[in-house]
Amino acid sequence: MYTYSMTQWLAFFFIYCFFGWCFESVYVSVHEHRWVNRGFMTGPYIPLYGSGAVLMLFLTIPVRGNYMLMYIVGAIGATVLEYITGTVMENLFGVRYWDYTDKKFNFRGRICLEATVLWGFFTLVMVKVIQPPVEHMVMMINDRVLYYMTWGITVVFTFDFASSFRTAIDLKEVLIQAERAKEEVQRMQKRVEVLEAVVNDSLESAKDGMEVRWDEQKQRMALLTEERMTELARHMDALRKRLENSESIERIREAVETSGAGEKLEDIQNEMRQMRGRIETMRMRARTKMHPRQLHMMLRNPSARSFKYQEGWRYLKNKMSAVRTMKRNKCAGISLRVLKEKIK
């Protein structure tokens, strides 16, 4: 009764991949208030559901008469498969495509008690309600026709998987580059801050030197006649006011240059300008490395997260939000134009 050919098992795999895609897409679309083509791949199939269904069908064959054992086998088997798949994908791509971190009783965010309980119920529903008509439908198809159908779908599935795998690897590279750019920008910004502090200290030292000379001149006034002292006092007060206004910086720079530190300050300022240019170049380079396929993969998986490349993931999420806003504005513009034409 439960002896299936390899072609029939393959047909079951694709059917449940499609069922899983329907369930996930509808559920996530309702939650996101927009249509979401859910899944790791572009086509209408989610391999985790297909492999999970085939595994549950196979594991529950010896216990089909015992609902409790079917529930336990299904819950444990699906949970183990989900954890292994999630671990492998996160290690390969640096992204967690589903995340249970916010759920209670989760383990490393990859599995949780709530999902395990649901997997058990899904197993019962699948084996007792969904599988009988699916099995009947597959059995009704001619073996040769079923063979060509399943292997034709396998070819399309394989190309889709290879393309999605390449996109996921490219996405990981973008995340790595974004993290490196962030570290380099932070390092250069710290260097700029140090250089600015050196410049400020040099300017302050020059200003202090001029203040000291002003005090010396003031002391000398005490030795002069009263008339001369009054005249020099007015002169020194005017000099002090000029020091306090915006032109004092230029005078300080001249004093620094005459003291022999001007060339050093000029070198520091040139280095600061070069670093600021490099920072802006790296930011522009990070913006131009995006590819639509990577953004589309993120749009298909709105709950995905990256704990290893958080800065890069944050940037891509902002980019994704901008794309969604642009699409909504475009659709709103088209609707408004159509409405105006109808009014006319």
- Residues 181-192: tens digit of each pLDDT: 777 766 766 766
Percent of the chain with pLDDT over 90: 24
256 pLDDT higher than 80: no
Across residues 113-141, what is the average pLDDT? 92
Measured distance CA(193)–CA(195) in Å, rounded = 5
Q: Say if residue 9's pLDDT is above 80.
A: yes
* DSSP H or E segment with residue 107: strand 106-107
Indicate the pLDDT class of residue 257, thresholds 50, 70 and 90.
low
Q: Please report the pLDDT score of residue 171 as a whole number.
A: 80
Q: Helix 6-32 to helix 131-140 angle, to the nearest 10 degrees?
A: 130
Which pLDDT score is estimated for 275? Answer: 59
Q: Which residue has the tokens 């969904």?
A: 130
Sign of CA dihedral 134, 139, 143, 145: negative
User: Which range has the top average pLDDT, 143-147, 185-189, 327-331?
Assistant: 143-147
Query: In the prediction, which pLDDT does 214 show?
Result: 56
Q: What is the mean pLDDT of residues 125-130?
A: 92
- The answer to whether residue 243 scores a pLDDT higher than 60 is no
In whole angstroms, give the CA distance from residue 302 to residue 84.
21
Separation between Cα atoms, residue 173 and residue 171, nearest integer Å: 5
178 and 306 Cβ atoms separated by less than 8 Å: no
Q: Which pLDDT band, with edges at 50, 70 and 90, does 1 fall under?
A: very low
DSSP for residue 193:
H
Over range 318-337, report the average pLDDT.
63
Q: Domains of the chain: which residue ranges?
A: 6-141, 181-343
Find the mean pLDDT for residues 138-153. 92
pTM for the model stands at 0.65
- Pair 61, 55: CB distance under 8 Å: no
The whole-number pLDDT of residue 34 equals: 82
Max mean pLDDT range (139-153, 194-208, 248-262, 294-308): 139-153
Q: Quick one: tokens of 122?
A: 């899904």
Q: What's the whole-number mean pLDDT along residues 85-99?
A: 84
Give the per-residue pLDDT at 288.
Answer: 43
Residues 264 and 253: their CA atoms lie apart, in Å, by: 12
59-61-65 Cα angle (round to 5): 120
Task: Tell me if 294 sits within 8 A of 316, measured CB to CB.
Answer: yes
Residue 169's pLDDT is what? 84
pLDDT higher at 176 or 322: 176
Q: Which sign, positive or negative, has the C-alpha torsion 41, 44, 50, 53?
A: positive
Please report the pLDDT score of residue 269 as a whole number. Answer: 58
292 Cα distance to chain centroid: 14
The amino acid that residue 75 corresponds to is A
Mean pLDDT across the stretch 186-209? 63
pLDDT of 32 > 60? The answer is: yes
The answer for 17, left when phi > 0, alpha when psi is -120 to 50, beta otherwise, is: alpha
pLDDT at 274: 64
Residue at token pair 């030292």: 205
In the three-class reduction of DSSP (H, G, I as helix; E, B as strand; rest coil), residue 105 is classed as coil
- Both tokens of residue 269? 């300022």
Provide the pLDDT confidence category of residue 343 given band limits of 50, 70 and 90: very low
